[in-house]
Amino acid sequence: MSKIKCVGVLTSGGDAPGMNAAIRAVTRSAIYNGLRVKGIYRGYRGFFTNEIVEFKSQNVSNIIQQGGTILKTARCQEFITPEGRKIAYNTMKKQEIDALVVIGGDGSLTGARIFAQEFDVPCIGLPGTIDNDLYGTDSTIGYDTAMNTIVEAVDKIRDTATSHDRLFFVEVMGRDAGFLALNGAIASGAEAAIIPEFDTNFAQLEELIKNGFRKTKNSSIVLVAESEITGGAIHYAERVKKVYSQYDVRVIILGHIQRGGSPTAYDRILASRLGAAAIDAIMDDQRNVMIGIEHDEIVYVPFSKAIKNDKPIKQELINVLKTLSI
């Protein structure tokens, strides 16, 4: 029998659509299994401000369809220091919280991993980020919704690009990961994607753009993953403008609209399954794992693997984009 009686849940880092569905699933599964649940507000910061509230089933009513996170989120500097984490641990004990479910990206799960090691606290991570950059899960909570937002936006951009015979560089999020840019490009029929995982030299880009205009198309759209490695959309647009003054070039940075909106059915179901599995893991005395999904099965990925390993981009996807954008 597990000794755990009360579970704390928090969302941390960049918000992602579906986080609310995950909070709901964690809360209701915990109560179903006879556990108490406490919501910790503003990520790890809630430990310092003591913004911690006992959740009943009705606290999570009517949130499955809402974007953002009812628990709020933050990137907490205090939690980065050992002294800060000691304060967090003391608060946790005072609040009688025995285990933690952290919903967030790699930074948030890194915090959970260190905390679990230092204080022997059972921590379970749920991959909540639009970036889809966590190793060991086919998808992260929020990725599908963000992808659909990108596709909707690029479809609209295509209309105006075609009307004006223009070349658009569309910058999408991803923080050093190219999943949104590459799959967004495939899904929206874009001509190319520039992603940090693969080197796109200027000559290749020129070829792609020229091909785009030379054929039946009279517009070209290139998705660029925001990243210091790619340099971003403006960087490429400036270079193209300098060399090809005949192209009418525009830049759009989609920005934070990618993080908002009602989660897709896929993200709601994913978040519900992962949230329920987090409580199953706690009941089974599992600790320090991220719950992921692989081939439609729940998997338990040790934090060390989920955080340390880079999630690879499939060469096949690069080939599909290249083949279909002729």
Structure-block tokens of residue 207 = 């070829």
Contacts of range 149-152, beta carbons closer than 8 Å, 24 or more positions apart: 149/254, 149/257, 149/258, 149/260, 149/261, 150/180, 150/184, 150/187, 150/188, 150/223, 150/254, 150/258, 151/184, 151/187, 151/188
In the complex, least distance from residue 13 CB atom to ligand F6P, rounded to whole angstroms = 6
- Verify binding: residue 131, ligand F6P, rule CB under 6 A: yes
Query: Using CB under 6 A, which of the segments 4-12, 27-35, 173-181, 260-268 binds ligand F6P?
Result: 173-181
Query: Using CB under 6 A, which of the segments 22-30, 45-53, 93-101, 124-132 binds ligand F6P?
Result: 124-132
- Verify binding: residue 126, ligand F6P, rule CB under 6 A: no
Binding residue (CB under 6 A) for ligand F6P from 38, 158, 259, 287: 259
The dihedrals phi and psi of 137, each to the nearest 5 degrees, come to: -135, 140
Query: Using CB under 6 A, which of the segments 1-9, 168-176, 230-238, 288-296 binds ligand F6P?
Result: 168-176
In the complex, least distance from residue 131 CB atom to ligand F6P, rounded to whole angstroms = 5
- Which of the residues are catalytic? 131
Query: Using CB under 6 A, which of the segments 82-90, 117-125, 169-177, 287-295 binds ligand F6P?
Result: 169-177
Residue whose token pair is 């999630």: 311
In the complex, least distance from residue 196 CB atom to ligand F6P, rounded to whole angstroms = 11
In the complex, least distance from residue 176 CB atom to ligand F6P, rounded to whole angstroms = 8
- Verify binding: residue 104, ligand F6P, rule CB under 6 A: no
Closest by Cα among 65, 63, 71, 137 to 105: 137
- Verify binding: residue 129, ligand F6P, rule CB under 6 A: yes
* β-pair partners for 1: none
The CA distance from 268 to 276, in Å, is 12
Nearest CB to ligand F6P, comparing residues 92 and 225: 225
- Verify binding: residue 105, ligand F6P, rule CB under 6 A: yes
In the complex, least distance from residue 59 CB atom to ligand F6P, rounded to whole angstroms = 26
In the complex, least distance from residue 241 CB atom to ligand F6P, rounded to whole angstroms = 25
- Verify binding: residue 173, ligand F6P, rule CB under 6 A: yes
Which SS3 state, helix, strand or coil, does residue 317 take? helix
- Verify binding: residue 136, ligand F6P, rule CB under 6 A: no
Query: Using CB under 6 A, which of the segments 59-67, 82-90, 123-131, 197-205 binds ligand F6P?
Result: 123-131
Q: Cβ neighbours of residue 314 under 8 Å, at least 6 residues apart?
A: none
- Verify binding: residue 292, ligand F6P, rule CB under 6 A: no
Nearest CB to ligand F6P, comparing residues 122 and 292: 292
Closest by Cα among 115, 120, 124, 88 to 298: 124
Q: Which amino acid is at 47?
A: F
Are the C-beta atoms of 35 and 284 separated by less than 8 Å?
Answer: no
Structure-block tokens of residue 231 = 């340099």
Q: Cβ neighbours of residue 296 under 8 Å, at least 6 residues apart?
A: none
Q: Cβ neighbours of residue 309 under 8 Å, at least 6 residues apart?
A: 135, 136
Interface ranges with ligand F6P (CB under 6 A): 14, 105, 129-131, 173-175, 226, 259
